[in-house]
Chains A and B, each alone.
Chain A
Amino acid sequence: MNSADTKKWYYMLPIISIAILLGGWMLVAQGEGSMIPTPYATLMRFLDICVHPISKAVLPVHMWMSLKRVLIAFVFAIVLGIGLGVGLGWSTSFHAFADPVFEILRPIPPIAWIPLVILWCGIGELPKVVIVFIGSFVPIVLNTYSGIKEIDSLLINAGLVLGANRRQLLTEITLPATTPAILAGIRTALSSGWMCVVAAEMIAAKQGVGFLIVRGQESGDTALIVACMLVIGVVSLLLSTILSKLEGVLCPWQFSKTK
């Protein structure tokens, strides 16, 4: 194959894989009383809930509710997570102080917090935001911390010999060197945050995509469930694309211009 053909081939492959997915889906959705909605039924349901409200809101509003919870929690998780991660990685005494507590709390799955958080914060917006925060905070802390721990000591030494002070070593050497690791943590945090928001909404919410999925389950409306799942998938994809762009802006050195 010449290179133009190869290129065409690479454009074809994703189309083929999606076609196979759709084909398989149609196949299993065949037949009377199938518990799986057909792609067509799902599409129709999707269009329907875009205009006809469920629980006083159309689909875009539910989506926005979920997204808003994720984004608010995310801002706090990024600021506090990077802060704690830098503290753990940079200061030996802070590490000795805070690490044991963090190590005990860290392995607890964020979803396990849901009952307690609902008891504490009621059923308003706060508990969902808190749960997403817990879910996205941990990966950001861990990646920031290990990024700082694993920094090549040569880079620090080179800075020391040039006469850099401790603040410069942190802000001009350690943090830039750790940015890719922090961004990887944010990426993990994003998927974890989505998981948490859907889970929290499934348990206690009047709006949001997680709520819609449970509503679908209660009324046996499988098309609604699948439509919501696909919307979650597409929105996550969009967010992760935005994140990739952000990586390109924050770490231009990772992406060569010449190669």
Chain B
Amino acid sequence: MSEDVKVKVRGLTKKFGDLLVLDNISFDVKKGDFVCIVGPTGCGKTTFLNLLVKLLEPTEGQILIDNEPADPKKHNMAFVFQEPSAYQWLTVEENIQYGLKIKKYPKDVIEERTKEIMETLGLEAVRKSYPHELSASLEQRVVIGRAFALHPDLLLMDEPYAQMDIKVRYYLEDQVIKLWQKTGSTVLFITHNIEEAVYLSEKCLILSNKPTTIKEEKKIELPRPRNIASSEFIELREYVTSQIKWW
């Protein structure tokens, strides 16, 4: 197997009781790739990420990260869940530092990363606040900060920007690209928003309806920074949209 595969999925099948959700899926994600996963509602996108980090066990098949089963204690990965998952009893700052503390980073690294995240995500004004004092979109930014602070090799994001208004979303889309370019991490990014998928990704993984298979792996070979108004962009966006509709 070649060295530069980050995530290897083979014959992955997941059933919940009688409900067949993922049906014998196989694919590779290259190291340093930015993959967006798109597909109809309820097709199993969240289930796939949960399998990937071992929160769920597959019915059949396997998922390997760096050629071994995923282990959050060993692999430097971060997960932004679909639902808000900030720790209510920690301040914004402590939330952002929590992953670094678990991974026992030295103090100066923690300080430096905190500063960086506070700046890039615009959280300085609320650093001492508790999550419940923030709007839902700001709270989600805290969770994103907690993930970004780790500079993860593998960044998993499950519709992270779904509840943000368009301005914040555009800004955060550029921030995740910056982080990806700076740290060379591998990103798996789930979204319902096709424009977002085409704007962000190197490759779009288009999933079918349940029982879910990969309908197409579409390479997005547009230069960056991308222009969402350009005709190539719009053409790609419409193509991906149509692929989701005509399953």
Contacts and interface: CB of A to CB of B under 8 A. Distances in A.
A168 to B, nearest CB: 6
A16 B132 CA distance: 36
Nearest to A160: B72
A252 B130 CA distance: 9
Interface of B is mostly: loop
B158 to A, nearest CB: 11
Contact of A158 (B81, B103, B133): B81
A253 B130 contact: yes
Contacts of A157: 50, 55, 81, 85
Nearest to B53: A161
B85 A155 contact: yes
Contacts of A165: 73
A158 B88 contact: no
Contact of B79 (A158, A168, A177, A252): A158
Contacts, number: 65
Contacts of B81: 154, 157-158
A177 B85 contact: no
A257 B102 CA distance: 28
Nearest to A251: B89
Interface in A151-166: 154-155, 157-165
A259 interface: yes
Given A154-B83, A256-B133, A163 B55 contact: no
A253 B88 contact: yes
Contacts of B146: 162
A53 to B, nearest CB: 49
A161 B129 contact: no
A161 B133 contact: no
A66 to B, nearest CB: 35
Q: Interface residue tally of chain A, by bracket?
A: 20 to 34
B99 A256 contact: no
A179 interface: yes
Interface in A48-95: none
Contact of B130 (A159, A160, A256): A256
A176 B98 contact: no
Contact of B133 (A154, A177, A251, A259): A259
A258 interface: yes
Interface string B132-167: 110000000001001000100000000000000000
Contact of B102 (A168, A251, A253, A254): A168
A68 B50 CA distance: 52
A205 interface: no
A235 to B, nearest CB: 31
B38 to A, nearest CB: 22
A258 B87 contact: no
Contacts of A36: none
A173 B102 CA distance: 12
A205 to B, nearest CB: 42
A257 B87 contact: no
A163 B133 contact: no
Contacts of B129: 257-258
Contacts of A168: 102
A256 B132 contact: yes
B78 interface: yes
B77 interface: yes
Find the residue from B79, B87, B90, B131 having the highest chain A CB count within 10 A.
B87
A162 B80 CA distance: 10
A58 B102 CA distance: 57
9 contacts: A157-B50, A158-B81, A160-B53, A164-B102, A168-B102, A177-B88, A253-B88, A253-B91, A259-B133
Interface of B: 50, 53, 55, 72-73, 77-79, 81, 83, 85, 87-91, 98-99, 102-103, 129-133, 143, 146, 150
Given A154-B81, A253-B132, 18 more contacts: A155-B87, A157-B55, A157-B81, A158-B143, A161-B53, A161-B55, A161-B72, A161-B79, A162-B98, A162-B146, A162-B150, A176-B87, A177-B87, A177-B89, A251-B89, A253-B90, A253-B131, A257-B133
